[in-house]
Structure 1
Amino acid sequence: MLKSPPMIFERLLHSQGFGSRRQCRALIESGAVAVGEAVLDDPDAELDPRGLSFTVDSVRWDYREHAYLMLHKPAGFECSRDPQHHASVFALLPRPLVERNVQCVGRLDQDTTGLLLLSDDGAFVHQNTSPKRKVPKRYRVSTARPIEDAQLDALRAGVLLRDESQPLAAWAAERENATTLLLTIQEGKYHQVKRMVAAAGNHVEALHRDAIGNLTLPASLGPGQWQWLDEADFAALRTPMSHPDHRP
């Protein structure tokens, strides 16, 4: 297998979010960066980036051409680099990921919890947010009042929201228990889930996204924690979802 074109160490470190070229050169020359078991203090060394692991201040990193992550978003965080009233979700990430300019793949309201994807790959962001792709997103909705069959029927058939010209129908709507609704939508309109539930005659008390397409939020990933997407995660995102059967 052919090797990737070599990269100057200083440039490689810069591409991974460890500061400006000058800052990366100084970091390397200070002896803070090791490749394998040995400190490498030559910023002009040429390295094959593919499969490369290195440590910065004893923290291990693997070279990645692009960053693809999932975050379990807690309540009280805004999906913005310029938050207005709450902390930014980017405060939950290591500085190198913030520096390499990862972006939220879609947004969750500050009081909504659950699965959030982030990446610095513009094509990936577009692919997973484009309205044309209609990626289903599932929410676990805690409601103020018991969920009635008529409300489920309305959500499945479509409810007309203010400022919308056509009714919006849920891709799926199932009652998990008396006051917990599993609602799947394909759009991403402003406060869509809250507005749809209100239009159906109920009120959202709490909102949690637990799946995007076939990718579900791992039970092992606690609020505020993040992890890299792996091949199984990418496969889940690529695999079309089967539509649930709404027949009685």
Structure 2
Amino acid sequence: MILERILHSQGFGTRRQCRALIENGRVAIDGAIVTDADADYPPQGLAFTIDAIEWTWREHAYLLMHKPAGFECSRNPHHHPSVFTLLPQPLVERNVQCVGRLDQDTTGLLLLSDDGAFIHQNTSPKRKVPKRYRVGTARPIEDAQLEALERGVLLHDEKAPLAALSAVRESAHTLVLTIHEGKYHQVKRMVAATGNHVETLHRDALGALVLPASLDPGQWRWLEPHEFDALKPGAAAR
């Protein structure tokens, strides 16, 4: 693949802009400036720098982010900044999307990708990937509330009760709730249906993929190859 197309595929601008980057001496491979935009390279794993920014070619982007509070999972946010402002511009340009959404006040594990098949697989209700949340509640959590969440609560506009896969009281005001759906404000609505109120909401796991403790709010990293298995149906966090 010619170098101009390689840069374009990674989100570094239009074909013309990428050609200009190369011809202006702003691209280096193996420490050497490359000025031939038509130079041919095997793209897989190709490492290069643009204005000292290190990059490695990837056919698709698979990202794991620790979403902070106060950010919307939208490219056209209404009241808060977009999570896409936390990403490098090339990833924004290659049109990565959120794999499901978290409310602006919800924190935790968020996946993003430009692979449509991956996004569909991990948002399809048929896959029933478990989603684990740590929920801070306004009132002490009662046994009856835990039982109701696991038995199923009927929400407005739903035809059948929604039941948690598990509901565990971690402390008087902290609930660890695991569900496999992803309906609108589902956790907040389920907790409200038991007579309590969600004050804080943090997603720490999808399937067996757990949010790394080393990833601070607002940070992101590439998804590791072995972590894709953690997202398969049937996998569960520990």
Cross-structure match for 1:192: 186
Cross-structure match for 1:105: 99
Cross-structure match for 1:170: 164
Structure 2 residue identity aligned to 1:13: L
Structure 1 residue identity aligned to 2:205: A
Structure 2 residue identity aligned to 1:193: V
Within 2, Cα distance between the matches of 1:38 and 1:243? 45
Q: Which piece of structure 1 moves more, 122-131 or 231-240?
A: 231-240
Q: Where do 5+ consecutive residues of structure 2 fail to align?
A: none
Within 1, Cα distance between the matches of 2:174 and 2:141? 8
Give the one of 6, 28, 35 matched to 1:34.
28
Within 2, Cα distance between the matches of 1:15 and 1:85? 32
Question: By how many angstroms is 1:23 displaced?
Answer: 0.4
Within 1, Cα distance between the matches of 2:106 and 2:75? 17
Q: Secondary structure at the match of 2:148?
A: helix
Q: Say whether the 8 Å CA contact 1:214–1:239 is kept in structure 2.
A: no
> Does residue 73 in structure 1 map to residue 49 in structure 2?
no
Taking a change above 3 Å as real, the CA distance of residues 37 and 99 of structure 1, as seen in their structure-2 partners, is: same
Taking a change above 3 Å as real, the CA distance of residues 242 and 108 of structure 1, as seen in their structure-2 partners, is: closer
Within 1, Cα distance between the matches of 2:13 and 2:179? 39
Cross-structure match for 1:45: 39
Taking a change above 3 Å as real, the CA distance of residues 145 and 242 of structure 1, as seen in their structure-2 partners, is: same
Q: Secondary structure at the match of 1:45?
A: coil
Q: Give the TM-score taking structure 2 as reference length.
A: 0.98
Question: By how many angstroms is 1:243 displaced?
Answer: 9.7
Structure 1 residue identity aligned to 2:131: K
Question: By how many angstroms is 1:232 displaced?
Answer: 2.4
Within 2, Cα distance between the matches of 1:185 and 1:237? 14
Q: Say whether the 8 Å CA contact 2:208–2:236 is kept in structure 1.
A: no
Give the one of 130, 134, 144 matched to 1:136.
130
Q: Say whether the 8 Å CA contact 2:208–2:237 is kept in structure 1.
A: no
Question: By how many angstroms is 1:185 displaced?
Answer: 0.8
Q: Say whether the 8 Å CA contact 1:32–1:57 is kept in structure 2.
A: yes
Give the one of 11, 17, 42 matched to 2:5.
11
> Does residue 60 in structure 1 map to residue 47 in structure 2?
no
Q: Percent identity?
A: 73
Cross-structure match for 1:159: 153
Question: By how many angstroms is 1:65 displaced?
Answer: 0.3
> Does residue 226 in structure 1 map to residue 223 in structure 2?
no
Q: Secondary structure at the match of 2:112?
A: strand
Cross-structure match for 2:90: 96
> Does residue 216 in structure 1 map to residue 210 in structure 2?
yes
Q: Secondary structure at the match of 2:125?
A: coil
Q: Give the TM-score taking structure 1 as reference length.
A: 0.94
Question: By how many angstroms is 1:37 displaced?
Answer: 1.2
Q: Where do 5+ consecutive residues of structure 1 fail to align?
A: 1-6
Taking a change above 3 Å as real, the CA distance of residues 101 and 242 of structure 1, as seen in their structure-2 partners, is: closer
Cross-structure match for 1:22: 16
Q: Say whether the 8 Å CA contact 2:155–2:162 is kept in structure 1.
A: yes
